[in-house]
Structure 1
Amino acid sequence: MSRRTKFAALAAASAASVAAVGLTASPAMAATVATGSLTLNNVPLLGTINCSSTLDGTKTSTTFTVTGATATGCGATVTAQNLPWSGTFGPPSTMYFAMKAAGCTYSGTLTGTTNAGPPRTITFTNQPVTGSGFPCFSGITVSATYTF
């Protein structure tokens, strides 16, 4: 292989590596689409968990996709699961939801209301979720308000 061919092959491999890193990093660079509050009600051993929450992803006039979700200030570790989530601006408004708290993943499709905006606000009130993992109990509900 000539020196020029080796250089061209190395340059092509480097460009492919840069492109792969760029593609891998793209989802992590999703914009914040909503901020708000999140409450998990009736959590075993903890009772009510109140958090501030941020949703990252994309939105259109009728739908949104959540590629990252945070819950902070909860007094317990709460982490997003099963991303991406999808949702719709109503009526009715819906959003798939899955968060892990106290060793259990609580998930389900939340149904709520949306104001006309702008900004648009979705409110979910006492929406039942199902727990999986150990120890999980029934009766957990989610209340949340997000401003898009």
Structure 2
Amino acid sequence: MSRVAKLAALAAVSTAAVTLTAAPALAWTNGTFTATANANSLVVRVNDTVVATCSGSTLRGSITSTGSFSVTSATATGCGVTVTPTGFPWSGSFTSSSPTSGTAAINGFKMTALGCTYTGNLSGPYTGAAPPATATFTRVPVTGSGGLCFSNVNVSATYVFTQP
């Protein structure tokens, strides 16, 4: 390979590396966040039958500029049954696949309802180039433990993440 060809190949590789690392992520600042689920957007299903639809839910915690976050408190209200978020902190992240979208994850999700504790890791798409960002979790399976728990339980929720 000639010296000119080697330099051209090196320049192409360097340009590709810069292009791959230059995609912008969400414009979070280190600090706190609030994620709010609008009315009827937190739904619990058992075998595709809705057993709880909550009129509201809020997550609060801290987030870094890289999109990693920690949920330190949560509420679920107006569910028709008592739903209690527990087991904090839950960890999470926003991983961008484009300037305006990617994957949101909440690990360690844990709520009690109907005498059982349901746990799991939620994952789903998000949209938004900067706060607010909307994360949608659709029929994500969770596992129940304690008492006579339902099997085949899944959770759906849509949260809008904002910063003060």
- How would you bin the TM-score normalised by the shorter chain? 0.7 to 0.9
Aligned to 1:15: none
Spell out, residue by residue over 1:30-55, the C-alpha distance to the aligned partner (whole angstroms, 9 max, x if none): 95511113111118xx9421111001
**Which residue, 99, 119, 142 being the options, matches 1:129?**
142
Q: Which residue of 103, 107, 112 maps to 2:115?
A: 103
Contact 1:32 1:54 in 2 (8 A): no
Which amino acid counterpart does residue 113 of structure 1 have in structure 2?
P
Matched residue pairs, number? 117
Distance in 1 between residues matched to 2:33 and 2:58, nearest whole Å: 7
- Structure 2 length-normalised TM: 0.66
Q: Which runs of 5+ in 1 are unaligned?
A: 1-29
Alignment correspondent of 1:94: 105
- Larger RCO, structures 1/2 (Cα 8 Å, 6+ apart): 2
Higher helix share: 1
Query: Post-superposition shift, 1:94?
Result: 0.8
* Equivalent-residue separation in structure 1 for 2:129 and 2:79 (angstroms): 28
Q: What value does the CA root-mean-square deviation take over the aligned residues?
A: 2.0
What is the alpha-carbon distance in structure 1 between the residues aligned to residue 60 and residue 116 of structure 2?
23
Task: State how far apart, in whole Å, the 2-side matches of 1:53 and 1:122 are.
Answer: 13
Pick the structure with more strand per residue: 2
Instruction: Give the stretch that moved more between structures: 62-71 or 52-61.
Output: 52-61
Does the CA-based 8 Å contact 2:126-2:136 persist in structure 1? Answer: yes
1:74 matches 2:86 = no
Q: Is the 8 A contact 2:142 2:155 kept in 1?
A: yes
8 Å CA contact retained: 1:33, 1:59 = no
> Per the alignment, do residues 60 and 31 of structure 1 end up closer, same or farther by CA in structure 2, a change over 3 Å counting?
closer
1:35 aligns with 2:36: yes
Aligned residue identity for 1:50 = T
- Which blocks of at least 5 consecutive residues in structure 2 are unaligned? 1-30, 96-101
Q: Quick one: percent identity of the two aligned structures? A: 50
In structure 1, distance between residues paired with 2:160 and 2:64: 14
| TM-score, normalization by structure 1 | 0.72
